[in-house]
Structure 1
Amino acid sequence: MQNVVKIGVAGLGTVGAGTVKLLSEHRDNLADRSGIPMIVTAVSARDRTRDRGFSTDGLTWYEDAREMVLDQNVDVVVETIGGSDGIAYDVCKAALEAGKHVVTANKALIALHGVELARIADANNVTIAYEAAVAGGIPIIKALREGLSGNVVSRVTGILNGTCNYILTTMREQGRDFADVLAEAQKLGYAEADPSFDVDGIDAAHKLAILTSLAFGVEVDFDAIAIEGIRCVSALDIQMAEELGYRIKLLGIAKQTAEGIEQRVSPVLVDRNTQISKVEGVFNAVALEGDYVGPVILQGRGAGERPTASAVVADLVDIAAGRKTPVFGVRANRLKKNVRAPLEKHVGPYYLRLMVWDRPGVMAEVTAALARNGVSMASMIQQGRAETEGGVVPVVFITHETNEGAMHEALATIAAFESNSQPPVLMRIENFTS
């Protein structure tokens, strides 16, 4: 019987290095929890000279991680390279085909190739574990796959990107605009030099695709997600939302409907008295609704060396202890097709903000356009008069619950009015029970 689990780590960036350090620092504690010692025997990275905070003496070093997979002195492969294709995909696929378990922090890989890799894992009686791929140190994968397996889940909602949450929090607290706060986030290292992956909602959508599969037992389908980022959110929108009792959050939402699963990532307004509205800064949160357990919310640090390494090592402990759960909670051949609910049939209240020329008749034509499409108003705010006669003023409408298709038809009409000084801004309002 094997008396030690030998680990190869592909990629020694923030997460990979953090994983090696954690395995070393907590070696005895981890052996107690898994019932067997775990040691790193091989690593792969391009730069051997970089100081990563630990010694590589005694480790077999590979320039190419694909070669490390074939090492007979490696039982489990940890992939922290990143990217949905290329070497990360090659390494994970080759390891599974070789009958080796894989642990990865790669959300793009799982979101785009998860079903294929799950089938390979099932065929070779191994697993690909990915707790670190969603919400960093929050154990949301284990919660959905194991802790809530007795429930039928109706809805998953998450603050899944710390960069966006930090930007929106800072905009609200300091009254600053998006571009200004983004530049600061880049200087502080919270945002990449090219922030599109985060601020355009792609990162959150990758994570939502994974959560949707786990929650509803369906194949991962990234293309089924409607994605909007936060570039359209202004300091004025955040101020107006506050006046109305809301906060703006970038949320990933998946919910079961009669016509399929509605999946979307977008900035939305949430009541500021709800728990999810109070998750601030770089923190993440995921709220679940199960038929037996009711609402559950988990929150914590969604990124960073230590939280993400914690999630990677939790998967390694499960593997070392012989605890093997199907990749998406059920075997790959039992995953259902992901039927996409038409977003135009979504029903809910909306926030509509206009910047209009301050002149007679403007409000009448806007309300008439809404009424013609069956959209009724719950409230309206006009923030004062223009400083100069005929100048521009912001006007905000909150609607009663309405059909999204009707709302967009009304919006198309309103957007064409000559009274607009800039394009209208439309955001959904989400209602939570707690």
Structure 2
Amino acid sequence: MRILIADDDSVTRRFLKRLLERNFGATVGEVADGMYVLDTLQRAEYDLLLLDLRMPVRDGISTLKALRRTSSVGSLNVIVMTASRDERLVMDAVKLGITDYILKPFEPESLTRRFERIFLAYGYPLPFHEPQATEGPADLPPPAPMPPPPIEDDPIAEFSLRPVTAAGDLGLVGPLPADSPTLRLLDVLPQMVWVTGPDGRPEYLNPRAQAFLDGDATAAAGWGWLHLLHPDDVQEVRRLWTMAVRTGQAQKAEYRLQTRPRHYRWCEAEWVPLTGEHGTVLKWVGVWIDIDDRKRLQMVAQRDDRTLWRQRDAVMATDPAGRVTFWNEAATRLLGWSAEEMIGRSVLERFPDAARTIMAERLRGVMGGQEWVGRFQDFRKDGSRVSTEARLVALPRAGQARAGVLWVSGESGSRGHQAPVQPPAPDVPST
């Protein structure tokens, strides 16, 4: 089975490619935007297209329309992928004859089962159901040359725990001995891990957790660890722990931990029960994830949002992938789209097809640190042009990566002052 993946998110492409190759023996090609799909399909034979509906230059609906008009590949089976819960968008895809659709984000096990049902329904061979001695898949020719997408994604690793039943109790009743194989395993994990008794009293911190607390080993002694929490968080954390001990159910919380005297960092904590054969809680196993940078950025963003919302100029912001994260009322008045219509979509979707490549180049330059200021021909929702004075800057973030793009613009001649203007760039072509 030969499958082509079209998605602007490189992390999603890698995830799907690995899952399809390992679980279904598929030969997988990939492209980063809908604009490369037709050329790639005409250069190599594929059985199925996995198509993201939200892409920066040519989105999934436009790609589907072009595909169905092309006689050589017009009957290809297509599974669309989307993070949007917009029923109209999915119905537009259904009207264009899709095989199925899948909602993001993905979970590996459920996605594998979903693919299995789809492939069986449409007669695709599944190696683990019908093992056959077949020749290895022929190499596909490389897809059409792909420039990098306009804005790079910023993948964030995730870690989660699941409740565990310990068959035979594995010697987990009572304090863990120092030479326990379980502790030796937890010692080398890259996460900050801790273990408590069934009543929630800490018994163990792995080296990474101890280092986070500046080597404070006393945190694993009885309920004294509550003194490490910010005073404002103690009551809520005590309530959640009491609930966990009473019900035996996993819990999550965000709270501030003292990592050195008078210095606190926000953590996301998750703890799950390790139970015996009869459901008795033997231990609680937990992790801390340091979310201090993210939490403080959120608080700054909330403060800035309140300020930006009241700005007279149109203010838009995107994440590193180019999806709109902020859209104020002035942007709605100037351009016609509401915040509800734009937030979560690629900022390039509001431009006509002929203008998207130019805008993608401009946004890529801004993400690379090239601030842009000047007169700019923008487009309203109704397709009409509006002459603006605009400024595009990269949003800073800790390290070298960028948090996205901030775009501020106002209609030319509507301001009481003139913004500094660079030599005007060529107008974006009209459709």
Select the structure of larger CA radius of gyration.
Answer: 2
Higher relative contact order (CA 8 A, sep 6+): 1
> Do the structures match in fold with TM over 0.5?
no
Q: TM-score normalised to the size of structure 2?
A: 0.26
